[in-house]
Amino acid sequence: MSLLEDKGINTTPISKLGEFGLIDHLTKNIKVKNASSVKGIGDDAAVIDVGDKYQLISTDILVEGVHFDLSYMPLKHLGYKSVAVNVSDICAMNGVAKQITLGLAMSNRFTVEALDEFYEGIRLACEHYGVDLVGGDTTSSTSGLMISVTILGEVEKENVVYRSGAKVNDLVICTGDLGAAYLGLQLLNREKEMFKENPTMQPDLSGNDYVLKRQLKPEAGIKYIKILKDLNITPNSMIDISDGLSSEILHLAKSSKVGITIHEDKIPIDYTTMNLANEFNMNPITCALSGGEDYELLFTVSQGHYDKFKKDADFTIVGYVTESSEGNNFIAKDGTSHLLTAQGWDAMKE
């Protein structure tokens, strides 16, 4: 398959490195040279010094068959989600989103009316998040739809928050609740399979509005950024939860050169998520840790802020920051401690 292989040169499958290993590998020799490039690769958005403020820039690509399935994802929702997931990365820097550009590649099976629907979703999201669509690119693709959104945002210089600022003894706080988007996806997949077997059957999605909404129409955490601003709190570190809590905990810990311990009984899970997980015979905690697409925010603040967060339903203190020598740990409900891995926790190791 590979061109290099044809020439007898040793090759490495991408799967051997994984997504983050691949990014590290490809970018290890990239150095930023311009003084205005304050933060390059390695955070939720790049940070550029444009004078009074910092400009934030981030890109996210959504690919048909990988990130979405048009048999159950309405195009309007897809448009909305394409913007929301990018706004989420600007929130993760404690910033405010301002503009997007939109790159589209689509196969000829898409009609103008279908793309109108998609753009209606883009428009609604832009309106909701106060973002302007200021450009993009349109081209054809041989298979399916590809959406690439680049977002620009801004933040006052003193308020920018990186993944790398967590300090030992910080509280680790998560917004909203977790695992719902993943269960929404499981539900949609199940109904799709049943429909394939019996096309006359109507999908049964009743009572599951919340998880479906979390999957089909996720929202970025602008309200939490505003609350933090009103509380006059700038977190020490922050990341958005796009890949599951455990993966993001590991990113924060690695960037900040600290360890993080979280407690199973603190992880916020909505009761409808809980019920559906039981129906699917899944552990809801596993859905929260490795499910992904919740687009909540995970941040750390110093212990002095404990009183401001302990009773607020929007925020849950899930753990605390330790020295890096302590590693990343998951304390189960029974009190046992396990190593946290990108997939969840390793129940085999103490």
Name the residues that contact Mg ion, by CB under 5 A. Answer: 44, 89, 240
Q: Which is nearer to ligand ADP, 41 or 66 (CB)?
A: 41
From the CB of 92, what's the least distance to Mg ion, in Å? Answer: 5
Residues 239, 12: Cα–Cα separation, whole Å: 30
Residues 293, 104: Cα–Cα separation, whole Å: 21
From the CB of 242, what's the least distance to Mg ion, in Å? Answer: 5
From the CB of 138, what's the least distance to ligand ADP, in Å? Answer: 22
- Of 78-117, which residues contact ligand ADP (CB under 6 A)? 89
Q: Which is nearer to ligand ADP, 41 or 194 (CB)?
A: 41
Residue corresponding to tokens 């046992």? 336
From the CB of 247, what's the least distance to ligand ADP, in Å? Answer: 9
Q: Binds 42, which of ligand ADP, Mg ion, none (CB < 5 to 8 A, cut-off by type)?
A: ligand ADP
Residues 115, 315: Cα–Cα separation, whole Å: 37
Residues with Cβ < 8 Å from 203, sequence gap 6 or more?
191, 194, 195
From the CB of 82, what's the least distance to Mg ion, in Å? Answer: 15
Q: Which is nearer to ligand ADP, 60 or 264 (CB)?
A: 60
Which CA distances in Å does 189 have to 16, 25, 77, 80? 28, 34, 17, 21
Residue corresponding to tokens 């998951």? 330
Three-class DSSP category at 14: helix
23 near ligand ADP, judged by CB under 6 A: yes
Q: Which is nearer to ligand ADP, 23 or 50 (CB)?
A: 23
Give the number of residues in contact with ligand ADP, rule: CB under 6 A.
9
Q: Binds 41, which of Mg ion, ligand ADP, none (CB < 5 to 8 A, cut-off by type)?
A: ligand ADP
From the CB of 242, what's the least distance to ligand ADP, in Å? Answer: 5
Q: Binds 170, which of ligand ADP, Mg ion, none (CB < 5 to 8 A, cut-off by type)?
A: none
Provide the mask over 142-171, with x wherever binding to ligand ADP is found by CB under 6 A and - wherever it is not: ------------------------------
Q: Binds 294, which of ligand ADP, Mg ion, none (CB < 5 to 8 A, cut-off by type)?
A: none
Count of Cβ atoms closer than 10 Å to residue 14 Cβ: 11
**Degrees to nearest 5, angle at CA 162 with 81 and 227:** 65
Nearest residue to Mg ion, scored by beta-carbon proximity: 44
Where are the strands (E) in the chain, listed by range? 37-39, 46-49, 53-63, 96-106, 132-140, 146-156, 171-175, 237-241, 259-263, 296-301, 315-322, 329-331, 337-341, 344-346
Count of Cβ atoms closer than 10 Å to residue 35 Cβ: 7
Gyration radius of the chain's alpha carbons: 21
Q: At what angle do helices 112-129 and 75-91 cross, to 10 degrees?
A: 30
Q: Which is nearer to ligand ADP, 18 or 65 (CB)?
A: 18
From the CB of 294, what's the least distance to ligand ADP, in Å? Answer: 13
State both tokens at 167: 């300090």
- Of 33-52, which residues contact ligand ADP (CB under 6 A)? 41-44
- Of 210-269, which residues contact ligand ADP (CB under 6 A)? 242
Residues 297, 269: Cα–Cα separation, whole Å: 14
Q: Which is nearer to Mg ion, 72 or 224 (CB)?
A: 224
Three-class DSSP category at 121: helix
In the complex, which residues of this chain contact ligand ADP (CB under 6 A)? 23, 27, 41-44, 60, 89, 242
